[in-house]
Amino acid sequence: MPENPPNDDRFAGPAGDTPAAQAPSSRRAAREARQSPPTAAQDLPMQRPAPLPATESRAPESSARLSEAASRPSATATAPRPSSGTAAPIEALFEEQARNAPAASARHERDRRKSRIAAWTVFAVILALLGGLVVGGFWVWNTYEDQIRAVMGWEEPKDYEAGIAEGEATLTIVSGDTGADISRTLFDAGVTKTSDAFYSYLIDSGQNPSFVPGVFTLQQKMTSEAALEAIMDPANKQENTAQLREGLTVAQSVERIAEGVGLPLEDVQAAVEDPSAYGVDETSLEGWLFPATYTFDPDVTAEQVIQRMVDRTTEALDAAGVPEDRRHEILTIASIIEKEARFEKDFYKVSRVIQNRLDPSNAETNGLLQMDSTAQYFFSDREGGTSSRAEELADDNPWNTYVHTGLPVGPIANPGELAIKAAMEPEDGPWLYFVTVNLETGETVFTNTISEHEAAVEQWRAWCADNPDGGC
């Protein structure tokens, strides 16, 4: 007779717990309990056993097979099924995203890197454009400053303002000096602001004073009016004092010595005739009268004055480390530098140009220095300038480096300490040419080739055309 146990026989006890404390109510229930999954697999899906046929009698072998099957673990109990049909596609999607994540990250990093490179490139271009504008602006200003100031009404005053004079300066006036000569000397001494300030003041004020030769004590940064008052005041005239500036020749120096110290000009001229009297093994004392301001006792002789100046030159040569056997060479080079350069930085560059032109491997200038100062030296009426006359360039005197290769036969002026040092320590550079393109400011352009030099010469010619009284 079939037995149908009630439904609650299979679900006694709390959810998820095995009803071990409750005994089966029938043999059929016992068989079902033996066939149920082990209680240890709590997390596996519960498997309901298939219902048995509703018959009471079974063959003995069938019962044995059922008992053997119950004793073996159920395959469905140990291998859980997917809970739904969408689980596999979702997991595959996550796996694909995980595989694609590094590639996406790499692309993102490449895009960021490209963006950074593009940003820096744009920034560099902007900087280059701004830099070009700044450099171009500086070039235009440096080249056409005077014209720009004239057009815009920005001309700087030629004179210093009153009340800012400071320090001390000395001025040497020799017989025959004109207002224009003194104007330039005042500017070189740092007294006036521009080279023509004093001369312009004399013209504008209608004055033509008689200047007394001698050495005068002034200040730096004076107005032209104040400088004139100081020159005309006898209290400012120094007695027994000689001032020699850099770049003077022996012939120019003897006049200043005689005027300043109060010696007869003939005595000073005779004192410089014999260089050997002062230990100088040369045919001339050119380059040996050191530029400085000297004060002597009232009873000093001309020979004592010259000896002191020669000794001062020897001190400067020794201080610069000039070997005794190179004194003539260095004084010659230094004298050219003194005449050609105005600013300290240019002294060392001019020295390099001289060395580059003396280099035997230089095929462009063929050993010719071509310095205007050397071409002008032989002509006594020349104080110095930037352009030489045709007769000066062609004259076959031993100082003319347009005609003769190498250094001139000897110094062409008295060099100072800076020029001597520059002759010993030329700056490194390839320059073969230079030209002063603005005589007022002293701006000098150094170049390597003849074409570059010719372009700089055109700048100088343009300046001369705009400044007919500039000294060209």
Question: Which residue segment(s) compose the domain that 200 sits in?
Answer: 157-238
DSSP state of 101: H
Is 419 within 8 Å of 316 (Cβ atoms)?
A: no
pLDDT in tens, 240-291: 999 999 999 999 999 999 999 999 999 999 999 999 999 999 999 999 999 9
Asked whether the predicted pLDDT for residue 308 surpasses 90, the reply is yes
The β-bridge partners of 166 are: 220
- Compute the distance between CA of residue 106 and CA of residue 109 in angstroms, rounded to an integer: 5
Cα–Cα distance, 159 to 222 (Å, whole number): 8
Please report whether residue 45 resides in a domain: no
Query: Structural domain tally of the chain?
Result: 3
- The answer, yes or no, to whether residue 167 has pLDDT greater than 80, is yes
Range 368-372 contact pairs with CB under 8 angstroms and sequence separation of 24 or more? 368/401, 368/402, 368/404, 368/405, 369/336, 369/401, 369/406, 369/407, 369/408, 370/401, 370/402, 371/336, 371/339, 371/340, 371/401, 372/340
Please provide the average confidence, as pLDDT, over all residues in the chain: 81
Looking at the fold, whether 381 and 442 belong to one and the same domain comes out as yes
Distance of CA 57 to the CA centre of its chain: 114
Residues 303 and 224 in one domain: no
Per-residue pLDDT at 57: 41
399, part of any domain: yes
Shortest CA distance to 169 belongs to which of 153, 192, 137, 197? 192
Reading across the β-sheet that carries 214-220, which strands appear in turn?
166-173, 214-220, 237-238
Regarding whether 430 and 343 lie in a shared domain, the answer is: yes
pLDDT in tens, 404-446: 999 999 999 999 999 999 999 999 999 999 999 998 888 999 9
The tens digit of pLDDT for each residue in 360-411 reads: 988 889 899 999 999 999 987 666 556 788 888 999 999 999 999 999 999 9
- Residue 381 inside a domain? The answer is yes
Look at residues 238, 267, 288 and tell me which one is the last residue of a structural domain: 238
Which tokens go with 70?
A: 């119950």
Total residues belonging to the chain? 472
Please state the pTM of the whole predicted model.
Answer: 0.62
Look at residues 313, 342, 343 and name the one whose alpha carbon lies nearest to residue 330.
313
Q: Which of 296, 319, 342 is the last residue of a domain?
A: 319
Average pLDDT over residues 324-328: 96
β-strand partners of 169: 218
Residue 333's identity, in one-letter code, is I
**3-state DSSP call for residue 217?**
strand
Provide the pLDDT for residue 56: 42
Give domain status of residue 83, yes or no.
no
259 and 200 co-located in one domain: no
